[in-house]
Amino acid sequence: MGYTNDGSDDFEKLRKAFKEVTAIFGSFDNLLEAFGLADMPQAQRYGIAFGCLVFLLTVIAVLTLLTLGGTFKRLEEQAQTGDATLLSSRDARAQRALLLERLLEGRERMVRNYPDPPTTEKLTSLTKMLSNVAPQRLDGLSELANESVTEEKKREIRRYFPPHYEENYVDAYRKCQERPGGAVLSGRPEARFEAYARAFAGCGPYTSVSYRRSYGRLYEATSCMNLATDDKYVKLFKYRPNDIIGRYIRLEALEVDRHLEGLYNLTSGDAGLENKSFDPEEIWGFLEDGPFEDAKAMRNSFIFMHLMNEAAFAIVNNITDKLMGCILLSKDDPQNLTIQLEPPLMQPTQEGSRELLESCFLLMDRLFAYGYRRLQISIDALDSDKRKLAMRLGFTLEGVLYKHMVVKESSRDSNIYGLLNSDWKRGARVAIFKELYGDAAFRVDSMNEKKEEEFDEQTRVLKEQKRTEQENALLIRNKKV
């Protein structure tokens, strides 16, 4: 029986097909005889008949559900147009209904009651706090750990150091001398010691010691793979000592002069170099601003104009040194030790990439090291890609805020995700670390952490003993006097 489209509906087609089948065999007995089952006992005949009836009813039920659910209609539309009627999350966002005019007018009238909060395109205090600390003068750092250098020369170097930098640098340098993280580079025995020490001290004195050790090991492994990488990161430290360095990317404090043109070109959707063109709504569709007509419009947006409780970092590829995007922090609440992480802004091809994941990991790890208790991500309920990212980072869905925001004159429902410092310690950090760097790297890092922890404890005990001995010697001397 060939297929002909005579305009009849699906049930009519099914009825015709069933009629043609029954016309061939005439009766149920003829059907059994055709299959060689005519001599079967009566009970088995009834069993087969009941089974066929159940199968037929099942097929009818499925076809009914497919028809009423619109599946056949969608298939017919796709066959004619080649387009699916199911909307992607961004298409759904684009088709979201606009707010009523009276609501928009009311919002504009009420907003005028309050002045705009102060913003700046300069580095905020939060950005500076999270960036690495560094002395104003970088030459002579290794001389601080050299006992042969005169005290007078050390005093000259110390004038350019931030608080506690020298102590952290010297302790880390000497500890790495005892237990370097890998083979010493040929002709540069001090390379690993200096790399670990400048990373450890660069975390500042207010982060946790375990974090400083971990960041120091990551930086040492990244910068001391070979002579070429050592040259690169020594030079980078000379010109940009405040950057947060990962294995795949580094975070630079976002600056207008340095990053504006590159970030605009990266997110405008236009093809450039190896980048293919794309719809810029894939990046900006769920955000308050964008796409932007030009770089000047981007400069005046939330990307570069920040409130005092916000921070912004550029994401730069370590291998190519090319800008990949940016990542922002908002709603810093130091009184309650909470802050909001904004999902990174990167090209659609970078969704789910290790670079995107590491940019979040580097900031999250440092935030918890500074003492934050809770990180939050607020995501448009329609943005499936960012929802997946939040779950991948270990965040837990805490609830949905309906009609939470007005974004581009449309109502937005927001999914609120949270991550606690206890969750980070219990396994979230380990899971991301393994995904980024592998199980083998985690085992090595865990072993080094245990050794460093023991070494630090031994050093602390020895210092305490030495201090006690000095105090006792001073008491004895005073008694004799």
Residue 136 lies in a domain: no
Residue 67 lies in a domain: yes
pLDDT of residue 1: 47
Q: What are the distances in angstroms from CA 103 to CA 83, 98, 107, 409, 411?
A: 35, 10, 6, 9, 11
pLDDT of residue 318: 96
Enclosing domain of residue 40: 10-81
pLDDT of residue 22: 64
Residue 277 lies in a domain: no
Residue partners of 165: CB distance under 8 A and separation at least 6: 133, 135, 201, 205
| Domain count within the chain | 1
Residue 62: CB atoms within 10 Å = 10
What is the pTM assigned to this prediction?
0.79
Q: Round to whole Å and give the CA distance between 76 and 63.
A: 15
Residue 377 lies in a domain: no
Q: Which amino acid is at 350?
A: Q
pLDDT of residue 427: 93
The burial class, CB within 10 Å (0-12 / 13-18 / 19+), for 114 is exposed
Residue 51 lies in a domain: yes
Residue 308: CB atoms within 10 Å = 12
Q: What are the distances in angstroms from CA 184 to CA 147, 195, 216, 221, 457?
A: 21, 12, 16, 11, 25
Q: Tell me which residue has tokens 């810093």.
A: 332
Q: Which residues of the chain have pLDDT under 70?
A: 1-11, 13-15, 17-40, 42, 45, 66, 68-87, 140, 142, 144-145, 272-274, 480-481
> What does the mean pLDDT of the chain come to?
86
Residue 40 lies in a domain: yes
Residue 340 lies in a domain: no
Structure confidence by residue, pLDDT tens digits, 208-256: 999 999 999 999 999 999 999 999 999 999 999 999 999 999 999 999 9
The partner residues of 304 in beta bridges, in order of sequence, read: none
pLDDT of residue 157: 75
CA atoms within 13 A on the CB side of 350: 23
Q: Going by DSSP bridges, is the β-strand pair 338-341/374-380 parallel, antiparallel, or unpaired?
A: parallel
Q: Round to whole Å and give the CA distance between 472 and 467.
A: 9
pLDDT of residue 332: 97
Q: What are the distances in angstroms from CA 276 to CA 10, 138, 273, 350?
A: 44, 41, 8, 12
The DSSP call for residue 69 is: T
CB 221 within 8 A of CB 183: no
> DSSP states of 310-355 as a string?
-EEEEEEETTT--EEEEEEEEEEETTTTEEEEPPPEE-GGGTT-HH
Residue 460 lies in a domain: no
Structure confidence by residue, pLDDT tens digits, 81-94: 555 555 677 777 77
Q: What are the distances in angstroms from CA 29 to CA 16, 43, 215, 294, 332?
A: 21, 14, 81, 80, 81
pLDDT of residue 101: 84
